[in-house]
Chain A
Amino acid sequence: MINLTIDNKPVQVEEGTTILKAARKAGIHIPTLCHYELKGMKLENRPGGCRVCVVEVKGRRNLAPACATDCMEGMEVFTHSARVVNARRTVVELILSDHPADCLTCAKSGECELQSLAQYLGIRDIPFKGEQSHYRADFSPSIVRDMDKCIMCRRCETMCNKFQTVGALSGVNRGFKAVVAPAFEQDLQDSPCTFCGQCVMACPVGALTEVDHTRQVINAINDPKKTVVVQTAPAVRVALGEEFGMQPGEIVTGKMAAALRRLGFDYVFDTDFAADLTIMEEGTELLGRISKAMAGDKSVRLPILTSCCPGWVNFFEHNFPDMLDVPSTAKSPQQMFGAITKSYWAQKMGLKREDIVCVSIMPCVAKKYECQRDEFKVDGNPDVDYSLTTRELARFIKQYNLNLKDLPVEDFDSPLGQSTGAAVIFGTTGGVIEAATRTAYEVFTGKKLDKVDFTELRGMEGIRDAHVDFNGTDIHIGIAHGLSNARRLLEMVRNGEAQFHAIEVMACPGGCVGGAGQPYHHGNTEIIQKRADALYREDAGKPIRKSHENPDIQTLYKEFLGEPCGHLSHELLHTHYFDRTDKVVIEGK
């Protein structure tokens, strides 16, 4: 152990602890900007580049960056001496001198860490006037890059390369021209970007934001010819409240339904309905593959990989082209919902496909890309027209002078609004596979489960590995969240180092609860944990907790689809994947 004093307060820390962490342990606040940490998820960005966290160390000539300086025995650290405070202000003034002062119209305003730092330091004037950097704005289906606002904290680069191992972004060029960009400064859309959006979540300023589709949705709602249907993903209901001053993990399902109705959506449905449907399809596919494999069929590919997460789907299309037949062919709940809405429900209601606008509320920015994929369109008309993030919905609600807190608790509309506890937990890591296990167990064994909670599948470890006893048959399940973990797990499978029956992958930390469309958590993983806990609470309180027992799902199969994985299901609810790797081909061949 190392003993030191910070602001004259004695602190004892383990060797290798940074001054920043020691100060936090002692309850002393040191402002930071480039530093970004996902606690408990082995991710820390500390390039020591912004110099906002500088502190004075007695006997040391220079100020030291607290995030990148280890504590030493007997150190005397001062975090707010006159020298430190002056230096800190100058540093922020210099950053501001090359940052557009357009806070009034910036999408990050109110959530911007540079803005709050400028306020915290009481900066009222930017004394340095000089050249400002300008870059071409880059609009992808999910993410907007406005690099004029980039402060080179490199958080996005760390998320993209270390946490996700996507490798779409890198620091390029040098000096004043340095910026974070894809290779050859091409558009994000032409890079291996998965649109997971964790760069957006990590960006402290407005350089990376989601594409805003709120206006298109408002126009659709106000178009009398259109019937506008909305679906809400499970993770939204445990995070939306944060935008209205509620605690992380407060469940606002009923208030959210009320808000959506008041915003003018004609039908307020639930993606959870489609999550139950996903379990029917994916679960049947899983059992089919397992039974065939057990019967000795060597052509069957195991493990089956979940395919609900669009960031993950993009990732394996870019990185595992040799394994495209391994993931489940089941569409994601968002897309299943769209497909059923514009077929089964449209028929039921006597509506034409073109007259229905299907909107989704997602904790995700990759969903914006997913709903624009060509294979999810019929004659150019998408199954899901627009996908809004939790943040966009919160802004939308506020714009319409509604306060979520004051709204009554209402139900979703029928029939695409009914769901089970199994569907609710889709929003957290381990949830999809637990939901699938509940159904697969009962179908496989023919027995009723005594206890539907599979706690061995829960948790926040990046890679988890669990065995479930299917009445004497051992089912081996793998779970990963964060694409670096998914890559490790898949490489183990590819190299034959591990045998699994099923693997669940979610791209974002903690699953959809930590999705990039959620209210900004600024690296506080406790918020993610609280949202996940809330989903399990919501599940526990549901009268029906197994997807196959959802009566409206049963009706859907009886009236329309026939059997899970049947002919119509394949047409509407299943998809295929593409090889999106860069190919080096020999010229002239």
Chain B
Amino acid sequence: MAIIKLSEDKVRVIKDICASFGNKSGEIINVLHQVQGRFGYLSAEVQEEVAHELNMSVAKVYGIVSFYSFFTMQPKGEHPIDVCLGTACYVRGAEKVLDAFSRQLNVKIGECTPDGKFSLNTLRCVGACGLAPVAMIGDKVYGRLTPDMIPGIIAEYNN
């Protein structure tokens, strides 16, 4: 018997999302999309609660989460950083920008800072190739980045 600890509002959010899909197990993908949209990632605890609400086994839910690359069990920070590694950004030095974020925050790709503020990921092309290399922090796009700009950008969010 496992005891799964979740905060009251998280449980509420999950219950509401599941209910909006009629608590049907066939809607699992839609449910997981929405839940991840709200929490940024799908923790084991969250998957347990989703399984419970949709009356399916946790193993099946995890099977789906681990199969589709869109779903992630890695926590996202309050300010998720996505560095574009599309062709245009890449040839204009995106890798060095990525390294600079990684060094500045002391996290690897896919990880989150211990204080939960920042997480670092990569993506392919946000359609702003004219500004390459590009990174997004939350919804905000930063263009023409160079490694020496990174500490300043991070500082904006730390204040």
Contacts and interface: CB of A to CB of B under 8 A. Distances in A.
Residue from the set A167, A168, A579, A580 with the largest chain B CB neighbour count within 10 Å: A167
A523 B54 CA distance: 32
B66 to A, nearest CB: 5
Interface string B1-39: 111111110010000000000000000000000000000
B8 A191 contact: no
Contact of B4 (A161, A169, A174, A585): A585
Interface stretch (A120-128, A182-190, A249-257): A182-190
A476 B60 CA distance: 37
A172 interface: yes
Interface of B: 1-8, 11, 44-45, 47-49, 52, 56-63, 66-67, 69
B56 A167 contact: yes
Nearest to B2: A582
Interface string A136-174: 000000000000000000000000010000111111111
B62 A583 contact: no
Contacts of A172: 59, 62-63, 66-67
Contact of B5 (A166, A171, A587): A587
Contacts of B58: 167, 183-184, 582
A374 to B, nearest CB: 14
A466 to B, nearest CB: 31
A183 B61 contact: yes
A82 interface: no
B8 A587 contact: yes
B48 A584 contact: yes
A104 interface: no
Given A173-B67, A584-B48, A584-B52, A167 B5 contact: no
A511 interface: no
A167 B8 contact: no
A227 to B, nearest CB: 37
Nearest to A589: B8
A171 B59 CA distance: 8
Nearest to A171: B63
A292 to B, nearest CB: 32
Contacts of A586: 5-8, 11
Nearest to B49: A584
- By secondary structure, the B interface counts as helix
B4 A584 contact: yes
B152 to A, nearest CB: 37
A174 B6 contact: no
B46 to A, nearest CB: 10
Given A183-B62, A184-B62, A582-B2, A170 B57 contact: yes
A173 B7 contact: no
A445 interface: no
Contacts of B45: 584
Nearest to B56: A167
24 contacts: A170-B57, A171-B63, A174-B66, A174-B67, A181-B59, A182-B59, A183-B44, A183-B47, A183-B48, A183-B62, A190-B2, A582-B1, A582-B3, A582-B52, A583-B4, A584-B4, A584-B11, A584-B48, A584-B52, A585-B5, A585-B6, A586-B7, A587-B7, A587-B8
Contacts of A169: 59
B66 A587 contact: no
A86 interface: no
A192 interface: yes
A98 to B, nearest CB: 19
A296 B7 CA distance: 46
A581 interface: yes
Contacts of A581: 1
